[in-house]
Structure 1
Amino acid sequence: MDTLQAIAERRSIKHFDPNHTMTEEERNTLLSHAILTPSSFNIQNWRIVDVQNQSLRQQIREAAWDQAQVTDASMLLLICADLKSWKKHPERYWQDAPDPAREMIVPMIAPFYSGKPELQRDEAMRSTGLIAQTLMLSAKTLGYDSCPMIGFDPKQVSEIIKLPEDHTIGMMLTIGKATQPAWPRPGQLPLNEIVVTNNF
């Protein structure tokens, strides 16, 4: 499946086969491609919690309005971000870059984010959205469906996964084999309402 087809066919699926198990190779393929997602200054601030323990999944389901896909999907991922990744040894994000690039960019990172909590959170949300989309399109390409979720109590889920204080949850993502198709698309706005040329 090519990328355009994956985009066209990706839908948010709510019903998954609870008996289907993804292979380790499939799981590794998804995750290893996900981390190729772009991030600002290459800070790679996403942190993915791959919840495999069924007891933890049940607890998360209870904190997610009892949505069945939390326990039925083959993968349950909490797409999180480290709000302070920009200052945690940022030189490692550019360790393989040419010297001129590394010497120019690494010193720019701290001044860009320091003292700007709103920017740090905005960056986290951008990054979690980007990596989630990479995961969803990769899953579709491998023959799996997915569902991005915000229908859960973030405080409860944070406690269940022992989320560090300087992290945040962007969304939950389920991936697996669909047992029911998605509803027909409910209504796409026309391009001329979405795309503005030059200015509003």
Structure 2
Amino acid sequence: MKQFPHLLASSILALAAAWPGTAIAAQTIDLVFNGIPAANVSTPPATPAFADWCASSCFPTTQFPVYAATGNQRGTAYVWGKSFAFGSGGSLCFSEFIAFALNEGDLHVVSGVNGTCGAPIDPALKPPLHADKGALVVIAGGGDGIIAGGTGKFKRWTGTFTDRVFVGFGAPTSGVGGIIYYDQLWFRVTPD
């Protein structure tokens, strides 16, 4: 009888090792934020990945707390942007570098050129929130990119990230460069 718990534990470990998707799923990170961001006033990461990405000029955009799906704060996101361009249909595309300062270490992600895009959404479908703060239109969008490095638990991570969001925009002089709020901002970071 005393051996039964050990046999059960060994069987569970063997099963988990035989099913590699289990380990990756446990490491995938989902982060969310809803609210009004602050201007990013942090020092850029002193990494080759940031220096290479920012070589042709970049600028800080926003910073905001990020939360797990449980509602517990996991840390803070610091965002830099560059390469803004308007596409057909009124889409706005740009590249961004995000440094997540999380409880387990820093995690850096970067979208490619035009890796993040969005376009105005019909106000009948998604009316702007925070009109009192200058929100005039909602941009629906998101992007994809890669893990660009990290520290602590994330030091050796490689893989991908995805984000999706509704952004309340106003005049360029309102909010943070026109960004008034994020609504349902979601990030998924998936290591290889």
TM-score by length of 1: 0.31
TM-score by length of 2: 0.32
Query: Which has the larger share of helix?
Result: 1
Q: Which structure would you say has the larger RCO, counting Cα contacts within 8 Å and 6 or more residues apart?
A: 1
